[in-house]
Amino acid sequence: MNKLQSLDLSSNEFTGSIPEFLFSLPSLQTLSFAQNMFSGSLPNSTCSSSKVRTLDVSHNLLTGKLPSCYSSKSFKNQTVLFSFNCLSLNGTANAKYQRPLSFCQNQASKAIAVEPVPKVEEKDSARSKLGLVILVIIGVVILAAILVVSVLIILRRRRSESEEDTFEVNNNNNDRHASDKASVCSNTTTSTKSLPDSRRVPQTMRSAVIGLPPYYMFSLEELEEATNDFDAASLLCEQLYRGRLREGIAVTVRCIKLKQKSLPQSLAQQMEVLSKLRHMHLVSVLGHCIASNQGHNQHAGHTIFIVQEYISNGSLKDFLTDCRKKEVLQWPQRMAIAIGVARGIQFLHMGVAPGIFGNNLDIENILLDGTLTVKISGYTIPLPSKVGAESNQAKTPRSNEDGEKEDVYQFGVILLQIITGKVVAAGSSEMGSLKLQLENGLRDEPSVLSSLADPAVRGSYAYESLRTTVEFAINCLCEDQSKRPSIEDVVWNLQYTIQVQQGWTNSGNHEATMKAIYE
């Protein structure tokens, strides 16, 4: 622990207060709490460590004022990222990158309260203090390991029973629907109350995700009610309907018809993966329903109804092509969108097993909610090819290596459009020309590269942040896929560009530049 220099706790949905004891680690230089649900104020003890050079607390639920030390001259060589919280920064250039206080209060109330790590009492000896910290960390690790092993044992014992119960087809209910379909979903509701028969829902599906309702297995009647019996007026596109649940929650319902009948155990495994597609940067899956087409064909397949969030604020393409909306996307917002897309892709590749690759990424499928938080839609729904799905959403996942590199390439195209504000198709001559111009701009004077950036972001970016982002976009578009970066490299490089941008903004350059432009 004495040699630990970098600690990344980002995107783990942690709640409660920032753990202060971490700042006492003697060699720690980089510490990231980004993309969590930490609440309360940023403690003054964060100023006590002179070793920490980069602190990232962005995209949390922090409130109150920043510790006064961050405005002192002694901290000018340190980078502190605190955008997209609810901090009180009135009168500063960073105030516009904070969310309303009510947003953090509402989200914090939904989170499960986690007690903050107790402060280690001050000792006369620095060695004793460090020893206590190490003991606390070791104890937490051991306890977590015991809990994980216990949960795995319980899940293994219950898996076969829960899967069989969940997907049992009731062949005696044929008279229930004139269409001769029998729902094999649990008779559940979509409220936050406990399920009438929670035994029928696998444990992994019962785990709630902060900011989303618990995963549910809907009845066919509920989805028919939500979509007005799948009325044509509710149809958004092929096999995709807009609906509204009884609680008033707007959703989309995607219908995927399977050509041949699957075994209950096979369906159970597929639905368990489906239930894990819940992340702050995905259009998350809220639940599903499976209906069996009985009829006279004993080999008839199933119809799977996938219920997802409905995002109504528009796509990234809408924002880049609408002059009024484009003005909202200054350089910091565009970098936040870029890293949001990257983290969503990273979750698809690494957050579920097996990973999901070849995800049809383009700016039309990058949606933005009311707070400009990225939500990736249209990603691959992992149903095996042996089931033979009719919907183009039920594609067979590509091989890990090829699929990852394809997703990275498509991300490079998205990044190119974020930088320039120009909408181009992947592989088109326009994209090739734009890439060549940017490559030449990197070798020319800074003014040349700056002239290629979207005029709407003029004055809002640090040149070093722009240059690094352009370099990385070109690397993602490399024709030799073996030379394209991994998704982990994508995330880390974007974090660096954001740190550069934040340091430039904190030094007052953004405010001074914008003032000069509009005077």
pLDDT digits (tens, 9 = 90+) for 433-482: 999 999 999 999 999 999 999 999 988 999 999 999 999 999 999 999 89
What residues contact 324, with CB distance under 8 A and at least 6 apart? none
Give span(s): CATH 3.80.10.10, the chain: 6-119
Predicted confidence (pLDDT) at residue 283 exceeds the cutoff of 50: yes
Q: Which residues of the chain form CATH 3.30.200.20?
A: 167-310
Contact 491/349 with Cβ under 8 angstroms?
Answer: no
Q: Which range has highest mean pLDDT (12-26, 391-405, 408-422)?
A: 408-422
Of residues 147 and 376, which shows the higher confidence score?
Answer: 376
For helices 463-476 and 331-350, give the axis angle rounded to 10 degrees.
Answer: 30
CATH topology of domain 6-119: 3.80.10
Give the pLDDT confidence score for residue 261 in this predicted structure: 61
Mean pLDDT on 470-497: 92
| Residue extent(s) of CATH 1.10.510.10 domains in the chain | 313-519
pLDDT of 234 > 70? The answer is yes
Say if residue 312 is exposed, middle or buried (CB neighbours under 10 Å; 0-12, 13-18, 19+).
Answer: exposed
Alpha carbons 390 and 369: distance in angstroms, whole number: 30
Task: Tell me which CATH homologous superfamily contains domain 313-519.
Answer: Transferase(Phosphotransferase) domain 1 (1.10.510.10)
Give residue 32's pLDDT. Answer: 86
| Residue 260 pLDDT | 61
CATH number corresponding to 167-310: 3.30.200.20
Model confidence over 194-221: pLDDT tens digits?
333 333 344 434 444 567 788 889 999 9
User: DSSP string spanning 97-134?
Assistant: GS--HHHHHHHHHHSPP-PPPPPPPP-SSHHHHHHHHH
Q: Degrees (nearest 5) of the Cα angle 142, 206, 245?
A: 150
